[in-house]
A and B are shown apart, each in its own frame.
Chain A
Amino acid sequence: AQTVTQSQPEMSVQEAETVTLSCTYDTSESDYYLFWYKQPPSRQMILVIRQEAYKQQNATENRFSVNFQKAAKSFSLKISDSQLGDAAMYFCASQGGSEKLVFGKGTKLTVNP
């Protein structure tokens, strides 16, 4: 069974600063994928970034990047130059062995002006 753990229920960051959200996972699959989703207060889940486990290079999408440590089963999200619009719940998710996504409990990010 896959599990995803997000140990930070809440985080806050000053506008324009950098913040890192933590995620650890466990899976017995050799081929799997990892995701960060953002869920703003309107509650529609939006994909932020995805990482294929077979790729050694860390994924980046504009101000968002990940630190994927396969041996440690760690998948953290770094948000640079934080903006007020980044305030949301962030969910880490894994997918492997089946089509379903397994989500963590989420981290609520507050961005202070």
Chain B
Amino acid sequence: DTGVSQNPRHKITKRGQNVTFRCDPISEHNRLYWYRQTLGQGPEFLTYFQNEAQLEKSRLLSDRFSAERPKGSFSTLEIQRTEQGDSAMYLCASSGRDRGPATTTDTQYFGPGTRLTVL
């Protein structure tokens, strides 16, 4: 299996601009997760998909954030009207091999992340 990939690896933008990140999970993984990690902290959960369905969203995910997984494969995370406080590493993870509902907790495998800097 190839691992989880994320693009771009780095993004520098000006405050107020929109940015979009992409995550390609491990093939056949049906669950995909987004986390945010700020300097000196552990990752914080943002949202989670099972196949195409977005099943859980954190309160951290404000109205400026939107995530999609239209075909149940790759996912995009968009941040509108970026703020300096959005500067962080955005991590994607995937898990699971069954197409059915999860019955056990599968290990989440992480991608290398996208580092966002908002000037």
The reply to whether the CB of A28 lies closer than 8 angstroms to some CB of chain B is no
* Count of A interface residues, CB-CB < 8 Å: 23
Measured between C-beta atoms, what is the minimum distance from A43 to chain B in Å? 6
- Bound-state CA distance A105–B38 (Å) is 10
List the count of A-B residue pairs having beta carbons below 8 Å apart: 55
**Contact A95:B105 (CB < 8 A) given known A103-B42, A105-B40, A105-B41:** yes
| Number of chain B interface residues as a range | 20 to 34
The reply to whether the CB of A61 lies closer than 8 angstroms to some CB of chain B is no
**Contact A45:B45 (CB < 8 A) given known A98-B56, A101-B108:** no
> Which residue numbers of B lie inside 8 Å of A, CB to CB?
31, 33, 35, 40-45, 48, 50, 55-56, 58, 89, 91, 93, 102, 105, 107-113
What are 10 pairs between A and B in contact, CB < 8 Å? Answer: A35-B107, A43-B112, A93-B42, A95-B105, A99-B31, A99-B48, A99-B105, A100-B45, A101-B35, A103-B43
